[in-house]
Amino acid sequence: MLKETELKRPNRLNFTGGWNYDPAPESASNVKLKETYQHFINGKFTEPEEGKYFATLNPATEEKLADVADGSAADVDAAVKAARNGYNKYWSKLSGRDRARYIYRIARMIQERAREFAIIESLDGGKPIRESRDVDVPLSAAYFFYYAGWADKLEYAFPNRNPKPVGVAGQIIPWNFPLMMAAWKIAPALAAGNTVVLKPAETTPLTCLKLAEIIQEADLPPGVVNFVTGAGATGSEIVSHPDIDKVAFTGSTKVGKMIHKSVAGTNKKLTLELGGKAANIVMDDAPLDQAVEGIVNGIFFNQGHVCCAGSRLFVQEGVADTVRDKLIDRMESLIVGDPLDKNTDIGAINSQKQLQTINNYLELGLNEGGEIYQSSCPIPDKGYWVAPTLIGNVSQSHRIVQEEIFGPVLTIQTFRTPAEVIEKANNTPYGLSGGVWTDKGSKIFNLTSQLRAGVVWANTYNKFDPTSPFGGYKESGIGREGGLHGLSAYLKF
């Protein structure tokens, strides 16, 4: 266990030698947002039945970006009816080749409007523009391209199994990767021949509504893709609607369990992508500088708002001091601030509620006896921010080691043997992801085959590809998204 004095080394280094990067903000001036956004139902932007709206904010400034329709049971019902009609009348009648054409068109239009999407994603959700520009938007297009390729090849993907679409899919997504989660859900559903009703998260609806504009311009038949915005209650209406054939949910384990109960005993197909508490394991023969970059990438970028974030660091004893020192030095150099600035490493926490959750965990960590080191970086006055944080002097029984914090907060523990670290890494209710850093292939095989996690990265972290399935064990979920596994989740055989 690390001692208090060893973790507290703030302000030790001045990395920039007295100079700082000049701000390099991406201009948002040519991004057009409407003041008010309606639901997108049956190919048209549609007023909410009860006339209610809620605001979505920019978490970096706390300013309102737009008002967004608050979906009621009647709105959900209208969207499900539109999706059923779109399925019966149009989508189920098209050949796979024609479906592919529409999906390719969506992919290309996302690419054409990539800059606009990236800026809106950063404005609405608080993530650094570097991340939305280089990860979220290109990957969203890539998922549409990938699944478009399967639409006319379902018989080859699942030979002799006579794959058939499920029908109408109800999809609910969280706020950490709004456009990308929509792509993960819509692209395979459409390729498999289903129509969809999707609800984005309350705090980040704008890129989905921009995607609705693309779907309109791409001239998809009415009702094939519908967006209903709203809070948890709206999501719950989608899940319980009797004419939904498949529920796909990404979000917290708590809500996932409620959804699981609600669809039990129905014929609805279900996939759940839930929380995580991933172990990132550094062996003593690992390339340490590379590992430190991977640790930073795994937990601090995107503010730790990543279900597969490497939030528990395990370092082999012989290199523990070196890794801790290098990590603290690197943390001191991270830039926290304006999400639209291209130099920014860590943007705004997505909402005040999430900020409160993270701060509660930091307090809990201190009360449990954790030693907290926070980077001494300047923090903007307005908006929701957390400096990158490392917590030592913790053990397996600490709640901050067991529970998902979903912020830029990393716990650090040491281990001696592979057997010990496997035991510790698997000692959580979750099983979504993990990371291993070592120079030796045999150690990679040994550790990765024993970690109970759906995705394990070796000598890298947080890499995604549309061809690769993603999903969890234990309380991290049911089923997979991505690759052929993700396609089969939208088919019946």
Residues annotated catalytic, as ranges: 273, 307
CB-nearer residue toward ligand NAP: 122 or 204? 204
105's tokens: 């068109």
56 binds, among Mg ion, ligand NAP, none (CB under 5 to 8 A by kind): Mg ion
110 binds, among ligand NAP, Mg ion, none (CB under 5 to 8 A by kind): none
3-class DSSP state of 392: strand
CB 345 within 8 A of CB 335: yes
Can residue 203 be called a binding residue for Mg ion (CB under 5 A)?
yes
* Dist. CA 141–CA 112, nearest whole Å: 10
Question: Which residues fall within 8 angstroms of residue 257, CB to CB, at 6 or more apart?
Answer: none
Select the span of 198-206, 319-327, 376-384, 403-411 touching Mg ion (CB under 5 A): 198-206
When CB distances to ligand NAP are compared, the closest residue is: 235
- C-beta of 204: minimal distance to Mg ion in Å? 5
- C-beta of 470: minimal distance to Mg ion in Å? 25
3-class DSSP state of 21: coil
- C-beta of 17: minimal distance to ligand NAP in Å? 39
Mark 98-137 with x for binding to Mg ion (rule: CB under 5 A) and - for no binding: --------------------------x-------------
* Dist. CA 453–CA 13, nearest whole Å: 37
* Dist. CA 203–CA 206, nearest whole Å: 9
- C-beta of 483: minimal distance to ligand NAP in Å? 14
Beta strand segments in 297-431, E: 312-316, 371-374, 389-392, 409-415
124 binds, among ligand NAP, Mg ion, none (CB under 5 to 8 A by kind): Mg ion
434 binds, among Mg ion, ligand NAP, none (CB under 5 to 8 A by kind): none
CB-nearer residue toward Mg ion: 54 or 90? 54
Alpha helix (H) residue ranges in 265-333? 288-299, 317-332
- C-beta of 455: minimal distance to ligand NAP in Å? 10
412 binds, among Mg ion, ligand NAP, none (CB under 5 to 8 A by kind): none
Give the footprint of ligand NAP on this chain (CB under 6 A).
172-176, 199, 201-202, 231-232, 235-236, 239, 250-252, 255, 258-259, 273-276, 307, 404, 406, 432, 472, 477
User: DSSP letter string over 148-213?
Assistant: HHHTT-HHHHSTTS--EE-SEEEEE--SSSHHHHHHHHHHHHHHHT-EEEEE--TT--HHHHHHHH
Residue owning tokens 């029908």: 167
CB 199 within 8 A of CB 172: yes
116 binds, among Mg ion, ligand NAP, none (CB under 5 to 8 A by kind): none
Can residue 56 be called a binding residue for Mg ion (CB under 5 A)?
yes
Binding residues (CB under 5 A) for Mg ion: these are: 56-57, 124, 203
